[in-house]
Structure 1
Amino acid sequence: MLTLAYEPEAAALYCKELTVQKKEGAESSSLSSFEPGQQFLVLDCGGGTVDVTAYQVQNDGDLRELQRPTGGPWGGTYVDNQYTTFLKELFGADVWSEYSKENPEDVLEIQRRFEAKKKSVNASADDQTTISFPSSLFAKYQIAKNCSSFEECLKKSEFAKTIKVKKDKLRFDHQLVKAFFRVPIDSIVTHVKEIINESKKKGRDIKTILMVGGFSDSSILSQRIISEFKRITVICPTEAVNAIVKGAVIFGHNPNLISERISPLTYGISVNTTFNNKVHPAKLKVVYDGKEMCTDIFQPIVQIGHPIRVGKEIFKHTCLPTRALDTEATIEIYESSSECPMYTIDKGVRRLGDLTVSIPNTSKGKNRPIKVEVSFGYTEIVVCAFEEGTETQTRATFDCLLT
């Protein structure tokens, strides 16, 4: 069976299980483990997004999630995009666009070289960043600007003081390169501060920040985190990007190491109820068997921010076929970022998928109740369905809608 592992959880498990940890900025590793009761943040800085989650170590060594994962699009690709935007300014949008279409492999190599340099950009040192460029790009720019050489073109541009040319290489001023990192790093720091302040208000004591993900290998990012949170221990494992992969292996062997999670959204089902013209909108009124009913009522299963004990939070629902000869019953599953939406058609409510339960025996007509149990807290939604009375297990499938 395929089991999904959340990246922050996998990283937390990996670093919790290992007793040898290397604090960012330290010259050597030291023996240190997460003790029961210790609370820490996992700062998962990936390529596209940055996700922050808080955990507490339980007495049995399991991890309890203290807050739902939050974050934003502040990963390493944000820096790459800033760099690409600058190259468009440097060479001109038309030149860069034409060159990208004519030489896509060279453009990928330009980006790859910057990716390799990105990790070593230092917050305090004043070193220039040197990157090789294909001479064909210099030549195209030179022709477009009608200069005798690329260096002559550069000297006439607004970048004469921040970029130097040496053969096929450009040397970027340190402050210029640091500017590529400014927006994402500022956003990360602001978000982490908000989470720590919120944790303090709830009586929590975050003593450690665990940095994982490929972007965490960036010196300028880790140095900034250390500088901003001097009273908190910052741990960045060697090859932070691999912490997630190795932690996923640990999780695969024992998924129960995460004992409690926080629901990231509100989940519910669509149900009908007796129509009340003082409460319900007329457009949702339907008539079933001579009775006025209101459709599209959002019945919550679990609410956003609610702690869920893994394997112990079970939602039970009894469903009946709509028609006597139906061999299946369908339950619509919805999600929302609101705490308690009233209708499934409310703004921000999204149809997650359909839970289809098999009821092949039609001999009892519509009187064929099926008990459905939905278990939350795992990385997947686990569903069981039984015929009421006989307790015979029946088939249930969950179809995640792609629209």
Structure 2
Amino acid sequence: MFNDYIRLVVGIDFGVKYSTFAYAHVSVPNDITVHNRWLECLECKIPTALKYDESFNLKSWGFSAFERPKRKKENSGIKLVVENFLLHLSNMEHKPHLPEGLHYKQAITDYLREMGNVIKETLHSCWLDIDFFGNVLIIMPIPAEYDDKAKTIIRECMYNALLINQRDSLSLQFITKYDAASVHCIYGTSALREFNISDGSTFMIVDCGGGTVKLITRKILENEKLGEITGRNEGFCGGNFVDDEFIKFLCRKVGPSAIDFVRNNHYVQLQYMIQEFCRRVKFPFTGQREDFRPFDLDLEVVCPAIKQYVKGSEFDEMEEIEWCIELDFEDVKAMFDPVIEKILQLIRTQLNAIRSCEAMILVGDFSQSRYLQTRIKQEFYQRNINIIIPQNPTTTIVEGAVQYGLMLNELDYLNKYRIKTNFPRVFEKTYGIKITRKWNSGDPIECKHPDGMINVFLRIAKQGDEIPTDTGISMIFSSNFISRNSLDLFVTDEYDVKYCDSPGVNLIGTFKINTPSTFKNNAISITLFFDDIKIKVVAQEVDVKTGWKYETALDIIH
């Protein structure tokens, strides 16, 4: 068992924009350290960015990928800054562009290798006798939408980056970011208990990241187990959109074409300018006029290349102010407000979909914004919801990952070489199959078949149904209800529907039915159960007379 030799647990929060890691020794589980001593600066997170030369040799990573631009001519040689490569593992339709000749797996591996070197050096500086492959359990929180293919790719990249010594190593385990945040909220902080949030209470996790804001409402069950009681909700309104508003502001000053030229030809300078804005304006902004100090953006210093692209009246105006743009309070507030309003609307929608919510916990990088915190408190104060802000919202997920690993190490959790959580799960959608029955007067006449039959939606699992992990919801029915030698599985966001062609009902899979023609009235069982972060659907045919049995399975992403 792992607990015979695991001495250290490491959580790796590998994010689209920023990444970090944390660790703890199993002998002192309450002492979790989030790494904050990167080579470039004392920060808890480092940019998920790489810089290559024209032959795709890695030159730098993290903060160094956005080196400070120089007034003099930039160094010769092509430098390619690569970001957002982790999005190639997502289910988004249009993946981010990568330079021709660079595969996203190489970028993932290169970044993990560099981070892995820092992890190993850090651990060995504290515990000289640690065998990294033998004594370290790695927990990686991942987005809930990652399927088995994505996890397999991460394992392959972790193996190639020398963070595990076997592709199927049990020393690497995954947890969804939602569950990691929940673990920290329940077991890693006393905030819930301080607000008397206990068994039977519900709380909402508001994960404000860079690109997306994700919400999930959970119920605390008996013995501090977690139940998910509503579907997830998310929107593209994270902190990076404030940066986008800053760029729009610059476009109004120097012209959109100048910004486009800088983005295409001097990307490092553009990113450095954004980082300066974040460090000196965005992060300290409280929304209170008395706290604000006007900020002068000297373009000749932070983005010297831009001067060659500014034309016409914009050039004359910039010359007049000596290329120094002042951002006042109203300018900055106007960058925040449209983004924050979208977040507030997202929360309103989630709250309107549930019966009660005793607490709201803000996690994620953008949750550090004091202006966002203030607006959320003002908006939902009248609803008597406790707004809880962890000491460091940006590290909640990685700390929760370490806590999860420590919990696993204390348990006998090896069962058929798989790790199982004790978190009950909830179906976020309604699932059903298509069956055929006689048409009746209450059915739409246009759906009636020539033989007097009609296809209807037979619900198996309803949105909101809660089950423990690896148990299932089953339904048994006669094969006479199947119109052909296949079984169609449908999904909808509605709680209940009657027909498979109703609006919002979508086909997600088809099972082949192999019942021999000599068998009549066979029993067909459909079972839906959670398996890690998927729903596994098992269809089984059984001849009631002979006992002949056939089983097939289908995995769908929850």
Q: Summarize the Cα distance change of 1:147–1:314 in structure 2 as closer, same or farther, 3 Å threshold.
A: closer
1:309 aligns with 2:467: yes
Contact preservation (8 Å) 1:260, 1:377: no
Does 1:341 find its partner at 2:497?
yes
Separation in 2 of the partners of 1:303 and 1:322? 21
Hey, what's the Cα distance between the residues in 2 that align with 1:148 and 1:193? 46
Match of 2:360 in 1: 209
Query: Which of the numbers 252, 255, 258 marks the counterpart of 2:423?
Result: 258
Secondary structure at 2:338 match in 1: helix
Matches within 5 A, 1:231-242: 232-242=385-395
- Does residue 1:225 correspond to 2:376, yes or no? yes
For the residue of structure 1 that corresponds to 2:362, the secondary structure is: strand
Which stretch shifts more, 112-121 or 177-186?
112-121
Aligned counterpart, 2:248 = 85
Q: Secondary structure at the match of 1:258?
A: coil
| 2:466 counterpart letter in structure 1 | I
Change (3 A) 1:345 1:197: closer
Deviations 1:75-131 (A, max 9, x none): 223323322322222222233334433334433444444454533322221123455
Task: Give 2:287's aligned residue.
Answer: 123
Do the aligned partners of 1:316 and 1:374 also contact (CA within 8 Å) in 2? Answer: no
Match of 2:239 among 73, 76, 85: 76
| 377 and 185 in structure 1: CA distance in 2 versus 1, 3 angstrom threshold | farther
| Cα distance in structure 2, aligned partners of 1:120 and 1:391 | 70
Secondary structure of 2:434's counterpart equals strand
Contact 1:138 1:150 in 2 (8 A): no
Higher relative CO (Cα under 8 Å, sequence separation at least 6) belongs to 1
CA contact (8 A) 1:11 1:243 kept: yes
Matched ranges for 1:59-74 at <5 A: 59-74=222-237
Look up the equivalent residue of 1:145 and give its one-letter code. S
User: Does the CA contact (< 8 Å) of 2:287 and 2:371 recur in 1?
Assistant: yes
Partner of 1:159: none
Cα pair distance change 1:173/1:378, threshold 3 Å: same
Which of 395, 398, 402 matches 2:554? Answer: 398
Rate the CA distance shift 1:134–1:321 in 2: closer, same or farther, 3 A. farther
Mapping of residues 2-401 of structure 1, within 5 Å = 5-19=175-189, 35-117=198-280, 118-124=282-288, 125-129=291-295, 131=297, 133-141=302-310, 143-145=311-313, 147=315, 150-152=318-320, 155=321, 165-166=323-324, 170-192=325-347, 202=355, 204=356, 206=358, 208-229=359-380, 232-248=385-401, 253=408, 256-259=421-424, 261=426, 263-276=427-440, 279-282=443-446, 285=449, 291-295=451-455, 297-304=456-463, 306-311=464-469, 314-318=473-477, 320=479, 330-356=486-512, 359=514, 362=516, 364=518, 369-375=523-529, 379-388=533-542, 389=544, 394-398=550-554
Q: Distance in 2 between matches of 1:250 and 1:33?
A: 22
Q: Secondary structure at the match of 2:497?
A: coil
Q: 1:225 to 1:322 in 2, by over 3 A?
A: closer
| 1:271–1:299 Cα contact (<8 Å) kept | yes
Contact 1:310 1:378 in 2 (8 A): no
| Aligned mates of 1:190, 1:238 — CA distance in 2 | 25
Compute the displacement of 1:278 (Å). Answer: 6.5
CA distance, structure 2, for counterparts of residue 319 and residue 242 of structure 1? 52
Q: For the residues of structure 1 that align with 2:548 and 2:276, how far apart are their CA atoms?
A: 61
**Greater CA deviation, 243-252 or 42-51?**
243-252
Task: Give 1:369 shift.
Answer: 4.4
CA shift at 1:182, angstroms?
0.4
Rounded to whole Å, the distance in 1 between the matches of 2:217 and 2:352 is 12
Aligned AA (1:35): S
Match of 2:133 in 1: none
- Following superposition, the deviation at residue 16 of structure 1 comes to 0.9
Once the 2 structures are TM-superposed, how far is the Cα of residue 300 of structure 1 from its aligned partner?
2.0
Superposed displacement of residue 348, structure 1:
1.9
Aligned equivalents of 1:356, 1:237: Cα separation in 2: 50
User: 1:231-282, CA deviations, whole angstroms, 9 ceiling, x for partnerless residues?
Assistant: 6543323442332244356567475443353x43322222222244772444
Identical aligned residues as a percent: 21
Q: Post-superposition shift, 1:299?
A: 1.9
**8 Å contact from structure 1 (residues 18, 33) kept in 2:** no
More strand by share: 1
Deviation at 1:398, TM superposition (A): 1.8
Q: 1:392 to 1:278 in 2, by over 3 A?
A: closer
Kept in 2, the 8 Å contact 1:40–1:55? The answer is yes
In 2: Cα distance, 1:266 partner to 1:191 partner? 22
Q: How far apart, in 2, do the equivalents of 1:317 and 1:9 lie?
A: 32
- Structure 1 residue 313: Cα displacement: 5.2
Deviations 1:325-354 (A, max 9, x none): x9xx64322222333333222222222233
RMSD: 4.0
Which deviations, in whole Å up to 9, do the C-alpha atoms of 1:136-175 show, x marking residues without a partner? 113321x4438467341xx5xxxxxxxx954xxx442122
Inter-CA distance 377–265: structure 2 relative to 1 (3 Å threshold):
farther
CA distance in structure 2 between the aligned counterparts of 1:353 and 1:397, rounded to whole angstroms: 10
Please name the residue that 1:26 is paired with.
none
Q: Give the C-alpha shift of residue 12 in structure 1.
A: 1.8
Count of paired positions = 363
* Structure 1 CA distance for aligned equivalents of residues 315 and 342 of structure 2: 41
Where does structure 2 lack aligned partners over 5 or more consecutive residues? 1-147, 152-172, 409-418
The answer to whether the Cα contact below 8 Å between 1:4 and 1:380 also exists between their aligned partners in 2 is no
Distance 1:149 1:46, change over 3 A: closer
Give the CA deviation at 1:178.
1.8
**Structure 1, unaligned runs of 5 or more:** 24-29, 156-163
Q: 1:17 to 1:391 in 2, by over 3 A?
A: farther
Helix, strand or coil: the match of 2:185? helix
